[in-house]
Amino acid sequence: MRALPLLAAVRTGFAGHTSARWGLLTCAVLCSVSFALVLLNDTVRVLFKWLIDPVFHTTSSAATLQILAAGAIASGLLALPRGRNAEGSPTRDRSLAVILIGTLVFGHAIVLAMHVRYASAIGIPSTLHGYHWLGEQNTYSFLLHTHVGKALLAVLDPWIAALPGNYDTGLALSQRTPGAFALSVGAALLASCIAAFALLPGIATRYRDDWALIWAYFFAALNCIKTIVDGGPLTYRFLPSFLVLLLLCAARDAGHLRQLLRKFTGPCIALLAAYLALWWRVGGEDYGSAFNATLILVSALAVPVLLRWKPPRAARRHVRTVAVTALLIHAGAIYSVEAMHGTGMLLHPLPSGYRVSVLDLREPRVLVSRPVPVGTLPLDLYRYYGDDPLKPSRVFIWNENEMPQSALIAGVSYLDAGANGGRIPISSPTRVSELWRAGDGTHAILAFRADESRVPPYFSDTASALSNNNYHVHLHLAAAVLRSAGLTEFVLLPLLDRQHVERYAGRPLAANPLD
């Protein structure tokens, strides 16, 4: 019985096999159809976010669309006949590899330098999470996950706004970064994309159409390209992907790759350990999520390669089996948690005790606050009130039995020329008090206290997609309160522990608000 085209592509390789080419073309069509469905159907958006987010971080649908588009292009390229020169052109491939690695290094270097410059220019610590607001637009940035590269996307904001859902286009930061920076990021992004796709057929030829190594190249390159605008060189996705990409581009063939792996596996592990130590030192409370994300990214890159590896010695086969099993168990646990409490929770019927509140961010005030009927899907509630289920800005959904929480303590850096305070509307479900102000009046520490009869606590008893959504809606509400007091441009920095407060203030405070 003849194998299905997709199975033939996996089992026998790509070049020279008609059935394999049909399989690749089928994959390209499936990616294209999925791309359209993500744009048209919210349930599909949620399902793809659950599938893709653990290995290719996405808070909206942007990364989903990116990986589907890249998958369609890559499948189409691999399905094309490679001509008479089946061995490819080593000189051409080396040139493309140099361009790819060079533009990735250049793009990430200028993004990191710009983040440090941006934070210094507005007087905030680069190691704190900051939400830069300009009117109703905001862009998040942090040393270990910077979004300053998104300033490039600001010119596309009118078109991106037409897509379903909410997206961070970098518009709020665009006025704080030079035009030459956006052009440089754009050039690096475009050149690396062209080089990565142009090199793909050569990689397939070099590794004799080994699907696992082709996947590792594709996924590593895509992660590295994405982090130019979303994450920077210190985000957890970049270093593992870049190391894999370097090894695949440097090796002449599979045999040479094995030699490089034997030589450089130890140094690569040491680099990853040093990077995770940096996260531990700087990231603080985010360390657990960064560690899990790094491990599942390594799983996505390594498991296919390990499955294809056929070591001659029994001891090495046992090591491979243990490694694959451990990585798959970890990935399975992550996906199970995501299905129950993460993105998948949006598709679970709600039990009794839940409440929904809808905000008007222009005043701000609560428009609707009512109990949720048992069995209602969170996705349906977000859609009913016209909000994005993946990145909501004005709809709270929470369990009324959650314990009340303390205030949200946040640093606020005022970037407006003359407005740094004013009267908060009485209708606001949030009260604001000032705990500290810098001598020049440009920086303050504020306490936001919510009316928890109408909106949820700032921090939930249990982590879930809904509690994460609610936290970010609270940030939108806090920003709306500040806008109602006369502010237009400011940076909001949640201060979650004593170290955050002292880092923001630049010195220990006599009365730390988190003590």
- pLDDT, tens digit (0-9, with 9 covering 90-100), for 233-251: 999 899 999 999 999 999 9
- Residue 34 near residue 52 (C-beta atoms within 8 A): no
C-beta neighbour count of 125 within 10 angstroms: 17
Which of 476, 61, 55 lies closest to 237 in space, CA to CA?
55
> Which structure tokens are listed for 51?
């599938």
DSSP count for the chain of H helices, then E strands:
16, 9
Tell me the C-alpha distance between 228 and 479, whole Å: 27
- pTM score: 0.88
> Which structure tokens are listed for 2?
């003849």
If you average pLDDT over residues 71-97, what whole number do you get?
81
Tell me the C-alpha distance between 39 and 41, whole Å: 6
Which of 498, 499, 494, 432 lies closest to 142 in space, CA to CA?
494
Which of 384, 402, 403 lies closest to 394 in space, CA to CA?
384
Q: Is 12's pLDDT higher than 70?
A: no
The gap between the terminal CA atoms of the chain, to the nearest Å, is 71
pLDDT above 70 covers what percent of the chain? 90
pLDDT at 344: 92
pLDDT band at 219 (very low <50, low <70, confident <90, very high): very high
pLDDT band at 179 (very low <50, low <70, confident <90, very high): confident
Tell me the C-alpha distance between 132 and 172, whole Å: 6
Tell me the C-alpha distance between 139 and 350, whole Å: 31
441: left (phi over 0), alpha (psi -120 to 50) or beta: left
**E strands within 14-149?**
130-134, 137-141
Strand partners for 78? none
pLDDT at 87: 55
pLDDT at 13: 47
The rounded mean pLDDT for the chain is: 86
Which of 438, 456, 446, 450 lies closest to 400 in space, CA to CA?
456
DSSP 8-state assignment for residue 507: S
* Chain segment 13-43, per-residue pLDDT in tens: 454 567 778 889 999 999 999 999 999 999 9
> Which structure tokens are listed for 156?
């596309």
If you average pLDDT over residues 281-296, what whole number do you get?
74
- Of 45-54, 112-121, 454-463, least confident by mean pLDDT is 454-463
Tell me the C-alpha distance between 277 and 458, whole Å: 29
CA 303 from chain centre, in angstroms, equals 22
DSSP 8-state assignment for residue 215: H
